[in-house]
Structure 1
Amino acid sequence: MSGTIPRESGSGQAYRGRNSTADRALDILLLFGDDRLALSANQVAEHLGVARSTAYRYLQSLTANGFLEENDGGSGFRLGPRVMDLARLARKGVGLSDLARPVLRTLARAVGQPVLLTRRAGDVVVCLEREEAVHTLRLSYERGQVLPLNAGAAALTLLAWADHAELDRLLARPLPRFTDATVTDPERLRTRLAEIRTRGYAVARGELDPDVLGIGAPVRREDGGVVAAVSIAALSHRVPDEQVPDYVSAVVASAGELSVQVARMGL
């Protein structure tokens, strides 16, 4: 790889004051960037202010431990699989809630309604996050709240994409009723879930709470699996039917935005 790496005057002298092998290894790894995907021993030697043979030993040590790989033909060194493993672990350290909060906050401001992030935990739904709107709607849906699977837009969104065997198991038992609008008949609920899958979102009026309209959409992994739901909860009488499509569009867009981030982070 041709070209030199910019460095401050006297940097070689500064590097000579850092004798730790770990320091040198980190210095080498930090040389990589979007515009520098491979390094030669000459470039490393120049940047560290050491002999080429010394730089090559550092590069070989990093290669032996999987942090670097040598390009075909010995044309330089690129980042190796161990770096990729560390990047994967770093991504796993960023939780779903961490990714979701900015998205939920933006959605709450846009629609003026509380926004929830929920996911399945076995046979129930758990509220992971709640973002308040400007005009707070006092509901029982709080962080850590356990919700049923068969009622409410968030729960129905998650249930709609359960696999067939899991859905059979869940619908084989009696389903609880919360309001007159709650669907408790298994076949009717299957039909409802199929419609949700076709549309890509759920709308529920008064099915868990008689006064609440919920709209939910799925958050997907890279493989298309559903990991969570983004939903809003509004007082039903404040949202006429003609306004529902605007809310649906906002929820679906936010769930899609979060899905892109979840896929990128490998969650």
Structure 2
Amino acid sequence: MSNELEKDGAAVQSVDRALSVLALLARHGDLGVSELAAELGVHRSTAFRLVMTLEMHDLVEQTADRGKYRLGVGVIRLAGATTARLDVVQESRAIGERLAAAVGETVNVAILDRDEALYVDQMAGPSALQAYNWAGRRVALHATSNGKVLLAHAPAGRLKELAAGPLRSFTERTVTDVRRLGEELDGVRARGYAIAVDELEIGLTAVAAPVFNVEGVVVASMSVSGPTFRLPAERLPEVAGQVMAAAERISSRLGWHGNENGRPLTA
């Protein structure tokens, strides 16, 4: 037991030192291994191992003279992911509130988070009394309209990865057949929106459309959801049009204006 605690303590200490290396490089710019070792109060070999590990993950990189290290592109990617998420939330809030007021139902914004859809914001319409707060919740990609949009525009191979294990059935309406799901995703890309009726929960219907960034990559999905009795089949085309229009406005604010054919670009 004591050996396990010692190993855990050593691992935590290594993580703390690695984070300290990043903080030192952020503060001072370029630093050599000896300088880092002195700042951390550790042996030079320890500092070297920390730097090598961080370099493997592109979090630090050697400078031109190869004698010192600086923050790497991996840090930029991590910061960019956070910035992109904040940009989507900021640019979608006012548009989402107008959409929620117009449709009368709940509007959600979701992003792809590994093999799930992560809801990052929610706006409640006047009909959505005491609405469930989806913000911060992760849901299955194959059983939700937002998830289907994100999966339809995900990099090639994502569906295959998702299908490596059995797809969970939430209701009798959940699509768990991979071939059928693939065909449905083709339809999502073709018509520009996804629908999920009673697939995650019985009595819940949602319609979602993609949000594109300046490079034409889908960075989020916006949906309208509500009780199935308030979103019957005959109303869905109208709601889908409203959702797509709102998503296009957000995409425009993020710098996307479509390619030369006026069609969205996919990842």
Distance 2:85 2:201 in 1: 35
- Quote the Cα distance in structure 2 between the aligned partners of 1:138 and 1:177: 27
Does residue 258 (structure 1) correspond to residue 250 (structure 2)? The answer is yes
Find the residue that maps to 2:117 and give its secondary structure. strand
Report the residue type matching 2:145 in the other structure: A
- Residue 206 in 1 paired to residue 198 in 2? yes
Q: Indicate yes or no: 2:108 matched with 1:145.
A: no
| CA deviation vs aligned residue, 1:138-165 (integer Å, no higher than 9, x gap) | 5545210111111011111111111222
Following superposition, the deviation at residue 135 of structure 1 comes to 2.1
Q: Secondary structure at the match of 1:118?
A: strand
Map 1:1-267 to 2 at 5 A: 95-138=87-130, 140-263=132-255
**Normalised by the size of structure 1, how large is the TM-score?**
0.62
**What SS does the aligned partner of 2:229 have?**
helix
The one-letter code of the counterpart of 2:100 is A
Judged with a 3 Å threshold, the aligned counterparts in structure 2 of structure 1 residues 146 and 137 are, in CA distance, closer, same or farther, namely: farther
**CA distance in structure 1 between the partners assigned to 2:85 and 2:118 by the alignment:** 20
SS class of match (2:210): strand
- Tell me if the contact between 1:137 and 1:234 (Cα under 8 Å) persists in the aligned partners: no
Cα deviation for residue 136 of structure 1 reads 1.9
> Which amino acid is the alignment partner of residue 256 of structure 1?
E
TM-score, normalisation: structure 2: 0.62
Encode CA deviations 1:47-83: one digit per residue, 9 max, x unaligned: xxxxxxxxxxxxxxxxxxxxxxxxxxxxxxxxxxxxx
- 2-side partners of 1:138 and 1:224: how far apart? 36
Structure 1 pair 210/138, CA: closer, same or farther in 2 (3 Å)?
farther
Counterpart-to-counterpart distance in 2, 1:242 and 1:93: 34
Q: CA deviation at 1:193?
A: 0.6
Structure 1 residues 92 and 195 mapped into 2: Cα distance closer, same or farther (>3 Å)?
closer
Conserved? CA contact 1:114–1:234, under 8 Å: yes
Please say which structure displays the higher CA radius of gyration. 1
Whole-angstrom distance in 2 between the partners of 1:211 and 1:251: 20
The 1:158/1:113 distance shift into structure 2, 3 A limit, reads same
**Is the 1:114–1:137 contact (alpha carbons within 8 Å) kept by the matching residues of 2?**
no
- The one-letter amino acid of 1:169's match is E
User: RMSD of the alignment, in Å?
Assistant: 2.0
Provide the secondary structure at the position in 2 that maps to 1:203: strand
Query: Structure 1: any 5+ residue segments left out of the alignment?
Result: 1-87
Distance verdict in 2 for CA 1:139–1:186, change over 3 Å? farther
- The code of the aligned residue for 1:252 comes to M
Aligned equivalents of 2:97, 2:202: Cα separation in 1: 26
Amino acid at match of 1:153: S
CA distance in 2, matches of 1:137, 1:93: 27
4+ residue runs over 4 A deviation? 91-94, 137-141
Q: Is the 8 A contact 1:127 1:141 kept in 2?
A: no
Q: State the Cα distance separating 1:242 from its structure 2 match.
A: 1.9
Identity of aligned residues (%): 31
Distance 1:121 1:92, change over 3 A: closer
State the shift of 1:239 in Å.
2.4
One-letter amino acid of the structure 1 residue matched with residue 106 of structure 2 = P
Change (3 A) 1:92 1:147: closer
